[in-house]
Structure 1
């Protein structure tokens, strides 16, 4: 497979978020790929809504993106020592779509946070959710970018060589799973 399909998922909706910057760096480190970005502008999960109207088309589209991707990289920001509502909502909705989109899908989770732990708690919670969804989580050194406000330069590039090295190793391992 020359150009695998790589899906990026950001747990932050903000266009200028540190996690979106980190995803751009991850895509570059992954190498040549057909890259698509998930849209997490989804309604809040509501069982009554699902019963009355079914799974929304935007959620079905997200599940198709996951199913059709060869690999997925998720940037999991940390808000108040936990996973973002946006990311958790998306994972909850995707779990309702028949076909188990994440089953055996190679996934790497990375995080950037303004705090001093780099999103460690959010990353742990995201990995826990993905385990329930049967994703194939790649082992390796966690990519946790602490103090993200100072971690990126004006062009949105990671300044720290060690962080770039860890990210490159994770993306190389993800690529090796699908190429």
Structure 2
């Protein structure tokens, strides 16, 4: 991926160095050869790397539908490994029939809340984006926010929606200068800030009273069972 960023005014945007670079996983929701949700995610990844992050862009090609395979499927295993690896997410979906695509939802559905004692999403950060074939809409990002809350992600306040996306990218697949590009920069900058501020206290953020008393009850039951 070409990492040049000729659109950035670097006098107004500074990298955010950290001892351990923020790790961001980007998901997109279309398999088309010229997928605008993928192109938007690629632009987001370039910006994130400029800011100091390490990124992974997951290709959903070949991912089975949820329940059509098990977690040992190579594409499922790859997705879950990347979800465990990352500190934060970017979800970029087209809007289709007033909603996110099934491809986008399938990826999210394959990521569990808990996985062998590991929480792939809980306490991590999330930025949501969408591309539109027509006028600007926010249906997909609104749905993604609901899913982010369900997955116990820290979904940042800012978001991106690119109307008439076919007009916003050049023949090489790079985004043209516009307020929509600037908004993606805003969103990625905010995602980096939230990620660096919260990742070291992630375990505290998802430490819940209801789960503590449930765990304590389970431990007590095991102790009592052994004493019988």
Report if TM-score (shorter chain) is over 0.5: yes
Determine the structure 2 residue equivalent to 1:77.
94
**Deviation digits for residues 40-66 of structure 1, max 9, x if unmatched?**
2321112xx56xx55634323312211
Determine the structure 2 residue equivalent to 1:101.
120
Distance 1:89 1:96, change over 3 A: farther
Structure 2 contact 71–77 (Cα < 8 Å) conserved: no
**What is the CA-CA distance between 1:34 and the residue it aligns to?**
2.1
Determine helix, strand or coil for the equivalent of 2:179. Answer: helix
Determine helix, strand or coil for the equivalent of 1:168. Answer: helix
Determine the structure 2 residue equivalent to 1:39.
59
Tell me how far apart the structure 1 counterparts of residues 178 and 59 of structure 2 sit (CA, whole Å): 30
In the alignment, structure 1 residue 24 sits paired with structure 2 residue 42: yes
Distance 1:80 1:155, change over 3 A: same
In the alignment, structure 1 residue 143 sits paired with structure 2 residue 160: yes
Distance 1:29 1:96, change over 3 A: closer
- List runs of 5+ in structure 2 lacking aligned partners: 1-17, 197-228
Tell me how far apart the structure 1 counterparts of residues 161 and 156 of structure 2 sit (CA, whole Å): 15
Going by fraction, where is strand more abundant, 1 or 2? Answer: 1
Tell me how far apart the structure 1 counterparts of residues 110 and 172 of structure 2 sit (CA, whole Å): 34
**What is the CA-CA distance between 1:93 and the residue it aligns to?**
1.7
Which one scores higher on RCO, CA 8 angstroms, separation ≥ 6? 1
Runs of 4+ with >4 A deviation:
none
- List runs of 5+ in structure 1 lacking aligned partners: none
Q: Work out which of the residue numbers 81, 84, 91 in structure 1 matches 2:108.
A: 91
Q: Work out which of the residue numbers 123, 134, 137 in structure 1 matches 2:141.
A: 123
Two-structure CA RMSD over aligned residues (Å): 2.1
